[in-house]
Amino acid sequence: MAIEISARKREAQGTGASRRLRRESKVPGILYGAGKDAQPIEVDHKDLWFKLKMEAFHASILDMEIGAEKAQVLLRDYQMHPFRPLILHVDFQRVAADKKIHMNVPLHFVNAEVSPGVKVAGGVRTSKQAIQYLVMLHETLGVEWLVPALFRIGASTLLNDVLMQLEKERTGRYAGPDYFTVD
């Protein structure tokens, strides 16, 4: 499912120009990345408001149309008014096919209430940490260890023990448990 958003190039810049755009129900923004110059843009407020309510909009590569030009972009940031339902500014990053990107993706655990593999027990506190641990397990032990019954969120001490054993096999000595960090 490709999510499309349309924008226009923005000529006028500055505080006054941004206020005029907001009065016209437009959101000032910037499009940057992929080795190209930053491009000031304006987006329709109503369209952006409803798309920001979609979870996929925050974690997907979007198809942006800027006049006749099309680009694949990521939503990187947006600023909201402190108490009014108003988007003040939006940032998009162009995606290049030959570059790695880092982004957060939402996790939804299926059958979490009955699976022993998703019960929170300590160590891993966020989904980001859980993904980092799963990736680390996959890279060091292989895909056969990624069975939900074998991995519990919170079992970071188990993972550290496994990594310490792998380090001992590799170097011949144990490393302290604080040697392995998530970040």
Residue 182 is predicted with a pLDDT of 46
Question: Could you tell me if residue 104 is inside a domain?
Answer: no
pLDDT band at 75 (very low <50, low <70, confident <90, very high): very high
Q: What is the β-pairing status of strands 62-66 and 36-44?
A: unpaired
In terms of residue numbers, what domain contains 16?
Answer: 3-94
Top mean pLDDT of 11-25, 90-104, 166-180 is at 11-25
Same-domain check for residues 10 and 83: yes
Residue 32 is predicted with a pLDDT of 95
Tell me which of 124-128, 169-173, 178-182 is least confident: 178-182
Task: Report the CATH number that the domain containing residue 86 is assigned in CATH.
Answer: 2.40.240.10
Query: CA 75 to CA 87: how far, in whole Å?
Result: 14
The total of structural domains in the chain comes to 2
